[in-house]
């Protein structure tokens, strides 16, 4: 596996692959790689001849008081995590490559109304930062496939929607959430949890499982809230059930047969999100 920093070097390599008629898959990350990222790379390798993995902690998607400065960064460990799973290039772009005009001067991509809901409401400006960096990363790599996880479901929907117009030939591949043995969705921020807090975090998949046994969208939301609120060390940000195509919230009394449940909570100072597809009336 090659390690590349300069965007010009990456583009030269990609051009050589194109001349050799190789297909390319791209996995964008912020580092602190874990088994969930490794699964993304494995799926990418199944789809394409060459796989590029980026590690870049994007300042535009962090708000005031968030963990940009303390976000885990260890490129050497990230390289070890990628060994043997099929990545051809680890690309670690600089801020000057991503934002030659400076992050504050970057023209941001507007995510639209869905970007102002749920995660967008809790983290104003977050999705504009995500879409802006994804577009710039994709422009540099020019992949055939963009491989992303379903754990960040709203982000995945917004990126897919943006790229349908900005890069219509690009195929976005969604990979199911990878979970630890205790059911907690893998996340780089899990490293912030103490042992006791990790036990508390197991309430999140339990809430999703309980909601999955409900007979209707409304009862599913109430069931999930009840499970989460039974744990006093959890602070609930939101529980929502959305239409998977439009990502609009299912209205009260909806007769929908399925939807995607979104959950965001805080365990101590750590914010965790999760989601699952639920079906009803079966």
Please check whether residues 243 and 141 belong to one and the same domain: no
- CA dist 107 and 271 (Å) reads 28
Domain span at residue 97 reads: 2-175
Do 10 and 66 belong to one domain? yes
- Is residue 183 in a domain? no
Q: Mean of the per-residue pLDDT values for the chain?
A: 95
| Rounded distance between C-alpha atoms, residue 134 and residue 66, angstroms | 20
Tell me 179's DSSP state: B
Give the per-residue pLDDT at 13: 98
Q: What number of other Cβ atoms are within 10 A of residue 159's Cβ?
A: 24
Q: Are residues 128 and 236 in the same domain?
A: no
With respect to residue 281, please indicate whether it lies within any of the assigned structural domains.
Answer: no
Task: Tally the domains of the chain.
Answer: 2
Which residue among 141, 175, 209 closes a domain? 175
Residue ranges in the chain modelled with pLDDT below 70: 282
Beta-bridge partner residues of 137: none
Among 37, 50, 123, 271, which one carries the catalytic annotation?
37
Q: How far apart are CA 2 and CA 10, in angstroms?
A: 10
Q: How far apart are CA 12 and CA 248, in angstroms?
A: 42
Query: b/e for 219-243, b at 16 or more Cβ within 10 A?
Result: ebbebbbebbeebeebeebebbbbb
Residue 131: give its domain's CATH number: 3.40.50.620
Structure tokens at 13: 């390599």
Q: Are residues 121 and 205 in the same domain?
A: no
Q: Crossing angle of helices 203-211/217-229, nearest 10°?
A: 160
Residues 258 and 222 both lie in one domain? yes
Same domain for 208 and 171, yes or no, is: no
Active site residue 37: yes
Task: State both tokens at 196.
Answer: 């006791």
Same domain, 245 and 270: yes
Q: Are residues 161 and 203 in the same domain?
A: no
Q: Which two tokens stand for residue 35?
A: 């088994």
User: C-alpha distances in angstroms, 192 versus 39, 76, 164, 264?
Assistant: 22, 20, 35, 16
Where is the domain boundary, 112, 145, 175?
175
> Which helix or strand (DSSP H or E) is residue 238 part of?
strand 234-242
**What integer pLDDT is reported at residue 282 of this predicted model?**
61
272 and 161 within one domain? no
Within this chain, do residues 91 and 197 fall inside the same structural domain, yes or no? no
Question: Do 154 and 246 belong to one domain?
Answer: no
- Report the pLDDT value the prediction gives residue 52, as an integer from 0 to 100: 98
Residue 282 lies in a domain: no
Q: Taking the mean position of all CA atoms in its chain, how far away is CA 189?
A: 12
Domain match, 109 and 207 both: no
């Amino acid at each position: 596996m090659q390690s590349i920093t300069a965007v010009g070097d990456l583009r030269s390599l990609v051009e050589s692959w194109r001349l050799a008629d190789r297909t390319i898959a791209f996995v964008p990350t912020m580092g602190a790689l874990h088994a969930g990222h490794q699964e993304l790379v494995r799926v990418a390798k199944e789809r394409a001849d060459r796989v590029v993995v980026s590690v870049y902690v994007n300042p535009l998607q962090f708000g005031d008081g968030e963990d940009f400065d303390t976000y885990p960064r260890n490129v050497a460990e990230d390289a070890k995590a990628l060994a043997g799973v099929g990545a051809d290039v680890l690309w670690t772009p600089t801020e000057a490559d991503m934002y030659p005009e400076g992050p504050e001067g970057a023209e941001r991509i507007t995510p639209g109304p869905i970007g102002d809901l749920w995660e967008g409401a809790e983290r104003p400006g977050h999705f504009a930062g995500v879409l802006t960096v994804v577009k710039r990363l994709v422009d540099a790599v020019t992949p055939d496939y963009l491989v992303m996880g379903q754990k960040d479901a709203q982000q995945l929907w917004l990126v897919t929607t943006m790229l349908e117009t900005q890069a219509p030939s690009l195929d976005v591949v969604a990979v199911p959430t990878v979970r630890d043995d205790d059911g907690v969705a893998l996340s780089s921020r899990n490293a912030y949890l103490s042992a006791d807090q990790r036990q508390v975090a197991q309430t999140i998949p339990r809430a999703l499982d309980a909601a999955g046994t409900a007979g209707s969208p409304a009862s599913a939301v109430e069931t999930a809230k009840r499970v989460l609120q039974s744990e006093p060390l959890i602070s609930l940000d939101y529980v929502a059930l959305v239409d998977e195509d439009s990502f609009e919230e299912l209205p009260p009394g909806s007769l929908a047969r399925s939807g995607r449940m979104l959950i965001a909570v805080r365990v101590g100072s750590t914010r965790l999100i999760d989601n699952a597809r639920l079906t009803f009336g079966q």
